[in-house]
Amino acid sequence: MSLFAWCSRRAGGLAMLALIALSYWVISGELEAQRHGYKYSSTDSLSAPNYNPQGAGIWVSIFSYYSLLIHFLVFVFPIRSCWAVFTITRSLQKTARSKSLKDFKFAHRRRGSSTSLSSSETLTSSRDLSSTSSSEAGDLDPEFYTDGDIAPDRVIHAIVIPNYKEENDTLKETLEVLASHPQARNTYDVYLAMEQRENNADTKAARFTNEFSKKFRSIDFTIHPSDIPGELAGKGSNMAWAARKLSEKYSIGQRKDVIVTGIDADSHLSSNYFALVTTMHMASPDTANTTLYSAPIIFDRNAHNVPAIVRVADVLWSAAGMSGLYKGSTIAPPTSVYSLPLELVDRVGGWDCDSEAIGEDLHMYLKCFFALNGNLTVKTVMSPVSQTNVTGGGHGKGLTGLIADIQARYKQAQRHMWGALDTGYALRKVVELWQERKHTSRAFRPLHTSMNDESDTYVPDSQIDGVDMELAPESGIFSDVVTDTLSAPDYERILSLFHRLFEAHFLPVQMTILVVASTLYMWVTEGTKDIHGVAWIFTVCNVLRTAGFMEVALYLFLYEGFHRICVETREKEMSDAGLTKGMHFSRREVKTNYIDYVMVPLVAPVFGSIPCAQAQIQHFWTLDLVYSVSKKVTRKRGKSLTAAAMV
C-alpha cells in the first residue's frame, strides 16, 4: 500500500489530529506570551514601539481564518437544507392537489382499474403512471410529455431488497406495499437478497416468493455466500451478489431499460416513485443510462415510540440527505434508497464489497460519479421513502429502555460515520481521473460476465480496434461489448462533491474542536491587546454559530409541513390499497413536539461529533467494522397510533 493510499483512508483522522495540534500550538503559545509579555523593539526614541510577539505568530491567523471558514460552512449547510425541504414540500403539495383533482375527474376509470391485495391479480393500465403526467414531482416540467407519449411497460424495475435476520412481518409489509402498486404485475422484478449467514434463509425467501408470485412480474431470491475472500459482510456485498445474479436474466437489448433499485427491508415506496423514475428515464434518452435517481427519506412510522433524542437525530439525518435534493443541484448523493440503470451498473462493475463500501449508497454514487468523469446526471424523485426509526426495544421500559434506544441509534450513527472512508476513496479516484483524463474511450461488458475487477469491466481499445461491431453479434466474439466515449472531466462538479464530502465526514469533528479551542483562545487573550487583529473573526464566528442554531430551528419548523404531507399521502395510498390495518402513522404537531427543538444541541455531539471522531480514530488501526443489523419496528396487526405526546 502506498503512503498516499494509507493517508487517504485516514484523511479524517489526520485532519482531526492536525487541527488539535494547531489549536494546542496557538493556545499554548498565546498563554506563554501572556505570562512573559511581548517583546518589542524601537528604532529610535521618537518612533512607536514595534511589537514582535513571541506567541504563535502567523499560526494565530491560520487558526482564526480556518475557524471562520468552518463556521461559515456550518452556517451555509442549514440554509441549503431549509431550501430543499421547502421546495420538496411545495412540490409534494402540488402533486397531492393534482392527484386529488384527477381522482375526482376520472373516478370511473379508477374504479375500473383499482387494485387490492385481496385479489390474486394486480391490474394495470399502460397509460396510468400514477399522475406523473401532470406532476411537478420530478425534475421534468409536465408540459414536456403526456400519457400518450409513454409506454411504461417497456421499463423494467429490478427491485433488490437486501436483508439479514429481518422480522418476517417487516419484510412482508414491504412486499405488500410494493404489490399494491398498479404497475407491479407488469414492471416489477423483485429480488430478495438473502444472506447465507442467516439460518434457514432459503426457506424464508421461498415462502415469500411463493406467497407473492402472482403479485409481481417476477419475484426471486439470491443467497449471498458468507465465505467470499476480501468481502465485508453488509448491504454492499449483498447488493453486489444480487446484482450479478439478476444481471444474467436480462438480454443486451433489454438492459438499457432495466432500472435497478436498492431498498432497505423496512422501506415503503409509493407507486409514484417508480412511475416518476420511469417517466424521467424515458423522457431523457440522451442521459438515461448515465443517471442516478435519489429520493428524500422520512421517518414516519414509529417516531412516536422512540425517545425525542433519537427522533431528532433521524430528522436531522434526513435533512442531511435532502440538502442536495433541491431543484438544480448537480451533487445529490442518495440516502438508503436509490435507482440506477443496469447499463450504468455494468459500466462501473457493480457494487464494491470491501470495508470502504460499508456505506454502499454513497460509495456507489462516488463510483458512478468518477466512472463518468464527474458527468453523472442526478435527478430527484419527489416521492419520499417511508422508513422506521432504529429502536433498541426500549419503548415503555423507562430509563433502561431510553438507554437501549440511544445505544441502538449510536451504533447506527457509528456505522454512518464509518463512511468517512469514502472521502479517501474519492481522493484516490480524483488522482486516477487526472492521470487518465486524456483517455476517454471506454468499453464494458454485462456485469455477470466479469469477475468483479477492473480488467473485466474495462476492455482496452486495442482489443476492439478493427472489429466491425455490426458483425460482432453474428461472430459472438464481442457481441456483449458496449463502447462509449466519456466527456471531459467536470472539475466544477468535482469541487462541489468534495465540499459535500467535507461537510459529511470532516465538519462535525472540526466544528466541535474549534468551538472548544476558540473559546479557550478567547479566554487566554481576554483583556489583552489584539496584536494579531483577529478578535473580529471570533465575534463573527459567534454570530454565525448563533444563526446556525436558529436555522436548524427553522428547518424543524419547515419539516413539520413536510412530515404532514408525507404522512397524509402515504395513509391515503395505503387506505386505497386496503393496507392501513396494523400500520403506524406518526403524526407531528409543533405544540406536542417542542421538546424536539430543545434536543438539537444534544443530538449534534452525541450522534454526530462523537461517533465521527471515534470512527476516524479507529481507522488508524482497522478499516473493518463488524456490521450489525439495526432493529426495526415490528408490524402489529392493530389500530394505527397517533403521537399524542412525542417524548
The pLDDT assigned to 208 comes to: 96
> CB-hemisphere CA count at 13 Å for 166?
28
Higher pLDDT, 51 or 556: 556
Other residues' Cβ atoms within 10 Å of the Cβ of residue 226: 12
As a dihedral over the C-alpha atoms of residue 554, residue 558, residue 564, residue 566, rounded to 10 degrees, the angle is -130
Secondary structure of residue 339 in the 3-state scheme: strand
Look at residue 635 in the predicted model and tell me its pLDDT. 57
What are the pLDDT digits (tens) for 504-515?
A: 999 999 999 999
Q: What is the pLDDT of residues 66-82, one digit of tens each?
A: 999 999 999 999 999 99
Helix axes 507-524, 491-505, angle to 10 degrees: 70
More confident residue, 235 or 142: 235
Q: Which residues contact 513 (CB under 8 A, 6 or more apart)?
A: 16, 19, 20, 23
**Residues belonging to the chain:** 647
Strand partners, 338: 262, 294
Question: pLDDT confidence of 150, banded at 50, 70, 90?
Answer: very low
> Please, are residues 338 and 295 in contact by the beta-carbon 8 Å criterion?
yes
What percentage of the chain carries pLDDT values higher than 70?
80
Q: CB count, 10 Å around CB of 129?
A: 23
Contact 256, 288 (CB under 8 A): yes
Rounded CA-CA distance 394/311 in Å is: 13
Non-local (6+) Cβ contacts of 580 within 8 A are 571, 574, 640
Three-class SS of residue 160? strand
Q: What is the mean pLDDT of residues 636-644?
A: 42
Distance CA 53, CA 531 (A): 8
- pLDDT confidence bin for 64, thresholds 50/70/90: very high
What 3-state DSSP class applies to 332? Answer: coil
Predicted local confidence at residue 104, as pLDDT: 52
- 467 vs 357, residue with greater confidence: 357
- Report pLDDT for 630: 61
- pLDDT tens digits for 256-309? 999 999 999 999 999 999 999 999 999 999 999 999 999 999 999 989 889 999
Query: Following CA atoms 325, 329, 331, 334 in sequence, which dihedral angle do they give, to the nearest 10 degrees?
Result: 20
Q: If we measure between CA atoms, which residue out of 457, 454, 455, 475 comes closest to residue 466?
A: 475
Cβ count within 10 A of residue 101: 12
Q: Quick one: pLDDT band at residue 155, thresholds 50, 70, 90?
A: very high
- Give the residue among 215, 81, 78, 90 at the shortest CA–CA distance from 159: 215
First-last CA distance in the chain: 50
Question: Average pLDDT of 375-386?
Answer: 95
Which is nearest to 152 in space by CA: 291, 276, 25?
Answer: 276
Q: Write down the mean pLDDT value for the chain.
A: 83
Least confident of 63-72, 109-118, 433-442, 618-627: 109-118
Residues 478, 467: contact at Cβ < 8 Å? yes
**What residues pair up with 161 in beta bridges, in sequence order?**
192
Contact 37, 528 (CB under 8 A): no
C-alpha cell at 576: 386505497
Tell me how crowded residue 261 is: count the other CB atoms within 10 A of its CB: 23
Q: Are residues 78 and 548 in contact, defined by beta-carbon separation less than 8 angstroms?
A: yes
Task: Dihedral sign for Cα 522, 526, 528, 533, please.
Answer: positive
Contacts of 488 (CB under 8 A, 6+ apart): 373, 437, 440
- For 413, residues 6+ apart whose C-beta sits below 8 A from its C-beta are 313, 607, 608, 611
Distances from the Cα of 605 to the Cαs of 312, 313, 490, 640, in angstroms?
Answer: 13, 10, 35, 33
What is the reported pLDDT for 634?
56
* The three three-digit cell numbers of residue 3, written as one number: 503512503
Residue 132's nearest CA partner among 149, 108, 117, 110 is 149
How many Å apart are CA 417 and CA 320, to the nearest integer? 13
Q: How confident is the model at residue 140 (pLDDT cuts 50, 70, 90)?
A: very low
- Whether the per-residue pLDDT at 9 is higher than 70: the answer is yes
**In the chain, what percentage of residues exceed pLDDT 90?**
59
Calpha distance 11→216 (Å, rounded):
45
The span from the CA of 170 to the CA of 348, in Å, is 32
Count CB-CB contacts under 10 A for residue 37: 9
Which among 350, 354, 367, 362 is positioned nearest to 246, based on CA atoms? 350
With 70 as the cut, is the pLDDT of residue 396 above it? yes
Tell whether the model's pLDDT for residue 94 goes beyond 50: yes
Average pLDDT on 571-575 reads 92
Tell me the C-alpha distance between 194 and 198, whole Å: 8
Three-state secondary-structure class, residue 228: coil
Split at pLDDT 50, 70, 90, the class of 119 is very low
DSSP string, 250-306: S-HHHHTTEEEEE--TT-B--HHHHHHHHHHHHH-TTTGGGEEEE--EEE-SSGGGS
Is residue 588 within 8 A of residue 562, CB to CB? The reply is no
The number of CA neighbours under 13 Å toward the Cβ of 347 is 27
- Overall average pLDDT of the 48-61 stretch: 67
The pLDDT-based confidence of 49 (bands split at 50, 70, 90) is: low
122-140: average pLDDT: 38
**Model confidence pLDDT, tens digit, residues 456-498:** 444 444 444 444 544 444 445 556 777 788 889 999 999 999 9
Q: Can you list the positions of beta strands (E) in 375-479?
A: 377-380, 385-387, 441-444
